[in-house]
Amino acid sequence: MTSQPVTTQPGGGATYDAPAPPVGPRSKRRRASVHGRPNTILTIAVLGAVAYFLLPLWWLLVASTKSNTALFSSFGLWFADDLNIVQNLQDVFTFQRGIFLTWIRNTVLYAVTSAVGAAALATAAGYAFAKLRFRGSTVLFATILGAIMVPLTALAIPTYLLFARVGLTDTPWAIILPSLVSPFGVYLMRVYAAGAIPDSLLEAARVDGASERRIFFSIALRLLAPGFVTVLLFALVATWNNYFLPLIMLSSPEWYPLTVGLAQWQSTSQAGSGSQALFSMVIMGSLVSIIPLMIAFLFLQRYWQSGLATGGVKQ
Amino acid sequence: MSATEAQITGAGAQREQHGTGMARREAIAGYLFVLPFVVVFVAMLVVPLFYSGYLSLFREQLIGGSTFSGFGNYARALQDETFLAGVLRMAQFLVIQVPIMLGLSLLFALLLDSGRLRMQRFIRLSIFVPYAVPGVIAALMWGYLYGRDFGPFAQGARAMGLPAPTFLTHEWMLYSIMNIVTWSFVGYNMIIMFAALRSIPTELYEAARVDGAGEIRVAWSIKIPAIKPALLLTAIFSVIGTFQLFNEPNILRTIAPNVIGVGYTPNLYAYNLAFIGREINYAAAIAFLLGIAIMVVSYIVQLSALRKERRS
């Protein structure tokens, strides 16, 4: 049925050690012959479960179109009679002299800078660990791998104190610098590089007299591009979603990212100064701030799916 | 970098005796490629970690700065009821929420892999999409959904003449948070497992099929054992995530301040100690203990997985 060699293990293949999975156009394997036919009843049951995952987002979408009074007077899962969506958007973007726009800019700045930096560092290191022999690499890699388990919040307090000493708190660096470290990114890139770059290619380039730097930049990097995008995407999400770090590092609202800013609006609205129409603004603000990531995930599906595959298959 | 590079390339002229020269060149390149990451790694991870350990050994005094107190802060933490209650709460969370979440992830992953579902792509994406919602916004949103004022649950109950459900009371808060975390991460874990399932060579279970094994039997005896590394990975990530729980309780705290105290989770406690109580040294000790707890539990998870593997 297929000509590709398969490492079948007797006894159910408890230890299946695959080469790094192919990324890119997924090898369409003859699943249909092995699997059953689609089952409508099963599909309906699963769609019921899917509703659990989608309904909160549906609620958010519906609620974002309502005025503060309509939030209380109409049913949550359906639209109110008068749509207030334009007004809500206007409120979100003009409240406190348009600070929401500043928060968006900050979030994009932090997320993009950190993600590009983290992915670049992880790619260079992962490539070296996978493809270059140098003394101490095993120990170094094990140390980095161990750091995956260090809770980031255990680091946040000392980092804050160290940054305070050198005057970095309440600046973008306080968010960007700690976000550049992605031990999991290094791990992913190592696994990825091991599978994506044939040793023979490197040997040939070396025999031809190409420098290691040239080999990396003109040969390896191209082959590593999908892995790079994967790490980039996950680092982007991690920084975009980060709340703890900016919460402790930043004190000026004009440096806040969306997460901290929205949380602050919400706590103001809960604090009871009910005259301010903050509920609908928090809701609209939440909707606006999740749309970019959803779009990114939709369009970059190939990358995050294959990236998670790389991480999960090998250990 | 380019200077050494040029030298080495020059030496490449005598590539007949490449053995040692090439190996050296390769090693130097290796260090140079690893260097940028290692610099940031040391500065942003190793140094703060040791600094945290150092801080935790001191005690601040009202007058005259701080004094060395050895393991005094640790001794205090181990008798601190607020801290211990927080750890216990997280242990409860771990024991209940993680198995439910990973069980659901595995179930959906197996269903998707079995090819028995229509609309596969839609289902996969829908379950995953909450992962793209920041934890803070997920908590804000669920906070409103749980609410008594305009939450749809309360509205539905009122329409049917029933009392509004109380999601945010002492009794139910932990479960309400579990629900938020489950909602956020089932899809993420599902994708990891699904990807691992896809990379099992089908030949492994074609034979079982021929022998008449059903879908469930194949899933249990072939697929699940084959994706053990992926399951282990998700389990460890879940342990780490659970003990670090912060965003959700911190957001819900504004809605239910009487239910979520300063030490509801160890992380929340460390934060409140450091930034509100100004007890930096004690907070460092708490954070350090938390880190140790995470490593110990992750290690146990790994070890038990290994042992099971060896036994079978």
Question: What is the tens place of the pLDDT at every residue in B14-34?
Answer: 444 456 777 888 899 999 999
Residues A139 and A194 in one domain: yes
Residues A91 and A44 in one domain: no
What is the structure's pLDDT at A34? 52
Q: Looking at CA atoms only, how far is residue A97 from chain B in angstroms?
A: 22
Residues A124 and A272 in one domain: yes
What is the structure's pLDDT at A306? 67
Residues A73 and A99 in one domain: no
Question: What is the tens place of the pLDDT at every residue in B244-296?
Answer: 899 999 999 988 888 998 899 999 999 999 888 888 899 999 988 888 888 88
The sign one gets for the Cα dihedral B274, A168, A184, A296 is positive
Q: Which of A160-164, B124-128, B228-232 has the weakest average pLDDT?
A: B228-232
Among A144, A288, A315, the strongest candidate for a mutation testing the B interface, having the largest count of B CBs within 10 A, is A315
The mean pLDDT value of chain B amounts to 86
Q: Kindly state whether residue A111 falls inside one of the protein's structural domains.
A: yes
Class of domain B79-311: mainly alpha
What is the structure's pLDDT at A167? 94
* Contact status of A116 with chain B (Cβ, < 8 Å): no
What is the structure's pLDDT at B101? 97
Domain spans of chain B, in order of start: 2-55, 79-311
Q: Which residues does chain A have within 8 Å of residue B290's beta carbon, measured at their own beta carbons?
A: 151, 153-154
- Cβ contact, residue pair B200, A263, below 8 Å: no
- B67 has which bridge partners? B59
Mapped onto helix, strand or coil, the DSSP state of residue A17 is: coil
- Cβ contact, residue pair B140, A14, below 8 Å: no
Mean pLDDT over residues B108-122, rounded?
90
pTM of the model: 0.84
* Contact status of B220 with chain A (Cβ, < 8 Å): no
Q: Looking at CA atoms only, how far is residue B124 from chain A in angstroms?
A: 9
Residues A270 and A222 in one domain: yes
What is the structure's pLDDT at A273? 56
Q: Kindly state whether residue A25 falls inside one of the protein's structural domains.
A: no
What is the structure's pLDDT at B62? 65
Q: How confident is the model at residue B149 (pLDDT cuts 50, 70, 90)?
A: confident
- Cβ contact, residue pair A72, B150, below 8 Å: yes
Question: What is the tens place of the pLDDT at every residue in B166-189?
Answer: 888 888 999 999 999 999 999 999
What is the structure's pLDDT at A15? 33
Contacts with A, B 234-263, CB within 8 Å: 234, 236, 240, 243-244, 246-247, 250-251, 254-255
Contacts of residue A50, defined as CB under 8 A and 6 or more positions apart, other chains included, come to B122, B123, B126, B127
* Contact status of B91 with chain A (Cβ, < 8 Å): no
pLDDT surpassing 50 at residue B94: yes
Query: At residue A22, what are phi and psi to the nearest 5 degrees?
Result: -65, 135
Q: Which residues does chain A have within 8 Å of residue B74's beta carbon, measured at their own beta carbons?
A: none
Question: What is the tens place of the pLDDT at every residue in A212-250?
Answer: 888 999 889 988 988 898 889 889 888 999 999 999 999
The answer to whether the CB of B69 falls within 8 A of the CB of B57 is: yes
Residue A136, domain CATH: 1.10.3720.10
What is the structure's pLDDT at A254? 94
Domain residues for A57?
A: 37-83
Query: How far is C-alpha B117 from the geometric centre of its chain's CA atoms?
Result: 30
Query: At residue B80, what are phi and psi to the nearest 5 degrees?
Result: -80, 115
Residues A105 and A240 in one domain: yes
What is the structure's pLDDT at A2? 33
Residues A176 and A274 in one domain: yes
**Segments in chain A below pLDDT 70:** 1-36, 272-277, 305-315
Among B137, B215, B221, the strongest candidate for a mutation testing the A interface, having the largest count of A CBs within 10 A, is B137
Nearest to A126 by CA among A21, A2, A221, A246: A221
Amino acid at A80: A
Residues A74 and A218 in one domain: no
**ipTM exceeding cut-off 0.95 for this assembly:** no
Residues A206 and A301 in one domain: yes
Nearest to A178 by CA among A232, A123, A131, A246: A246
Query: At residue A44, what are phi and psi to the nearest 5 degrees?
Result: -65, -40
When divided into structural domains, chain A yields a total of 2
Q: How far apart are CA A189 and CA A195, in angstroms?
A: 10
Q: Which long-range contacts (CB under 8 A, 24 or more apart) does A234-238 make?
A: A234/A182, A234/A184, A234/A185, A234/A304, A234/A307, A235/A114, A235/A115, A235/A118, A235/A119, A235/A179, A235/A182, A235/A185, A236/A111, A236/A112, A236/A114, A236/A115, A236/A296, A237/A293, A237/B131, A237/B132, A238/A179, A238/A182
Q: Kindly state whether residue A14 falls inside one of the protein's structural domains.
A: no
CA of B243: which chain A residue's CA is closest? A151
Residues A130 and A206 in one domain: yes
Q: How far apart are CA B148 and CA B135, in angstroms?
A: 22
Residues A107 and A246 in one domain: yes
Residues A168 and A254 in one domain: yes
What is the structure's pLDDT at A3? 33
- Cβ contact, residue pair A133, B251, below 8 Å: no
What is the structure's pLDDT at A212? 87
